[in-house]
Each structure stands twice: as C-alpha cells, then as structure tokens.
Amino acid sequence: VMPEGNPELGEQKAYSCQFCHGATGYSLRQDYPNLNGQHAEYLFNAMKHYQKGERGSALGMMMKQQVSSLNDQDLADVAAFYSEQKPGKPE
Amino acid sequence: VMPEGNPELGEQKAYSCQFCHGATGYSLRQDYPNLNGQHAEYLFNAMKHYQKGERGSALGMMMKQQVSSLNDQDLADVAAFYSEQKPGKPE
C-alpha cells in the first residue's frame, strides 16, 4: 500500500530523475515517459515493479538501479511530486 | 523501430483499451496509467515490452494478453492515437 506522499520532499528526492524525465516530468526524450500529471498510485506501482526487477528490459534494469535505494515513503513522495505537475508540454 | 502511426485507425484498434484506460486515455482508475498526451514512441515500446512478457506483474500478464494479437503497425496506430489526445484530466 502506498504511504501518503509529500510533493515538496518528492521534488528534492527526484533530483536525479530530471536528467531523463525533465524538471517537471515532461521528458526530453521520445522514448522516456512523461510523468507530469500521471496518477500517483500508478507511478508508485511502476517504481515498485522496477525495484523488484519485474520490468526486464535494459532500461528496466537502469531504472532498477535508480530506485534501488529509495524506500516506500521516498517513492510515494516522488510520485506525489510528479503527479501534481501540470500535464502536457510545458510552455 | 516503430512504423509511422495512423491515429484514426488507432482509435478503432484501441476499442478494448477504453475499459481500463478511458475513451481518450485518461484512466478511470488511479493505478492505471494515463496515456493521453504520452510520447508515442514510449507507448509503442511499453506495449512491445508487455507483448514480450518483459513486464512480469499480474497486470503485466493481463496487458500481454491485450496486445498479443496486435502487429507493430497496430501498436504504432494505437500509440499515435493516444499520444495525440489532449493531456490531463478531460473537462
């Protein structure tokens, strides 16, 4: 079950994510997903799948490393941060 | 490599997706991802991962069935359809 997420803390914990996913989750690359405005519970579940190695592609393994050191509260905070960002392409 | 996608055809081919992902990709459930406004190439790659069973969760297996009968052109059309839908929560 997902803990209550704190988006302010999530922004700090998501520092390293920006290099692939962009500052607010609109990703700079076409093959990386946009996270801004996505459902927080889906983001949390997806990161858990990566953490458990259930997404077996090369990028899946890279993501596994990225989230390996985060606990459930961290993941919920990161998920809360991105889900609260304005969806779509930033102006 | 992803073929050129046709969003009109994609809308028809995505008929069964709406029951989880919503008519234009804003999903009705918090634990299913929004697809509207997502990058087409990411959507295509994600569906290929499901097709090859690389996303091993229970929902991953359900998605595998959903996309099992689609070829790459179908997947590109479906991806084009959702990526062209307005991002965020429909008014």
Instruction: Give the integer Cα–Cα distance in Å for B55 and A13.
Output: 25
Superfamily of domain B7-83, CATH level 4: Cytochrome c-like domain (1.10.760.10)
- ipTM of this complex: 0.81
| Beta carbons within 10 angstroms of residue A45's beta carbon | 20
| pLDDT tens column, A8-63 | 999 999 999 998 999 999 997 889 999 999 999 999 999 999 999 999 888 899 99
Tell me if residue B55 falls in helix, strand or coil: strand
Task: Determine contact: B90 vs chain A, CB below 8 A.
Answer: no
- Low-confidence residues of chain B: pLDDT under 70: none
| Beta carbons within 10 angstroms of residue A64's beta carbon | 18
Q: What residues does B55 pair with on adjacent strands? A: A55
Backbone angles phi, psi at A55, to 5 degrees: -115, 100
Which of B24, B35, B39 has the highest number of chain A CBs within 10 A, making it the mutation to test binding with A?
A: B39
What separation in angstroms does the CA of A27 have from each of A33, B42, B83?
6, 10, 14
Judging contacts by C-beta atoms under 8 Å, the chain B residues touching residue A30 are: 39-42
Q: Where are the domains of chain B?
A: 7-83
